Structure 1
Amino acid sequence: MKVRLALILLVLSLSCDSGGTNRNPFLQEVSFRFDLNLNLPLYSNLNNIGNPVYVSNDAVGTRGAFVMKTGLDTFFAFEASCPNHAPNNCSTMTIDGQNVVCSCEGFTYNLFTGQQLDRPDDGARYYDLLFYRAVQSGNSVIISN
């Protein structure tokens, strides 16, 4: 019985993956919390589904965040720095409808899903947008990581 238990424990310990997580190597995960008051004109677009807002505050993420209302009570927030290279002078993306575009390579990402829409088929590893938590509380949307 002890031999079986030892064998089972050995198999389980060898089958565990000790590799790191599959996180984006280009973007640091910074902790923050920022409240967006939906009564302010700056964030009034967030009262309607599908109207993204760029939050350029230095206290939000690496290069700010894109926030969009995606359902009646649902908001998504994503890092504004392109996830496929280190932050630099061209890595802050711009809004193009319900997508964002990186001016470095022209990569396009969807703000409803965070997915890269024009992923090259060159065998290289490409990352989707870095997701931040976004929760509505009364007339505010709280984004955090």
Structure 2
Amino acid sequence: MKKFWILLVFVSILFSCSDNGISNKNPNIPSYAVNLSIDMNLPSYSNLKFVSNGVIVPNYGAKGIIIFNTGSGYNAFDAACPNQPITACTAMTINGINAVCSCDKSEYSLFTGLGGKEYPLKQYRVEVSGTVIHVYN
């Protein structure tokens, strides 16, 4: 009986662990390896030092990577429209605190990645060291 309880506790712990809540199960956006580092001291990325600013870094992920300063950290999302086939749209654009899909003009929050449609924005992991932002999956 004691072995049963130990096994039960172990299985419970195993299933309660998470990788930080990022879920990228989206059939519209392929999984590409992303390993990107940018320095906010460079003029192209200096706006990221300020809250509610974002930039799009092309040529990474499916359609580029959107990096956004939330004020309590940084978010990174793929610039591909999450609810459209990958070949149907150009990269999303930034409109204030939202990303806008070029096909259907749907807007997605850069704070949460949510947009009121079936799939949210595809999110990547972010680490910050000084002025360098590292985006990866």
So what's the TM-score if we normalise by structure 2? Answer: 0.78
Could you tell me the percent identity over the aligned residues? 39
Alpha-carbon distance in 2 for matches of 1:129, 1:68: 13
CA RMSD across the alignment? 2.0
Equivalent residue number for residue 16 of structure 1: none
Which residue identity lines up with residue 103 of structure 1 in the other structure?
S
Gaps of 5+ in 2: 5-22
Gaps of 5+ in 1: 6-20, 120-125
Residue number among 45, 48, 65 corresponding to 1:46 in the alignment = 48
Counterparts of residues 1-145 of structure 1 (less than 5 Å): 23-56=25-58, 58=59, 60-72=60-72, 74-88=73-87, 90-117=89-116, 119=117, 126-145=118-137
Post-superposition offset of 1:23: 1.2
Alpha-carbon distance in 2 for matches of 1:22, 1:40: 30
Larger Rg: 1
Post-superposition offset of 1:22: 7.8
Cα pair 2:82 2:120 within 8 Å, conserved: yes
**Worse overlay, 35-44 or 85-94:** 85-94
**Worse overlay, 22-31 or 41-50:** 22-31
Alpha-carbon distance in 2 for matches of 1:23, 1:129: 10
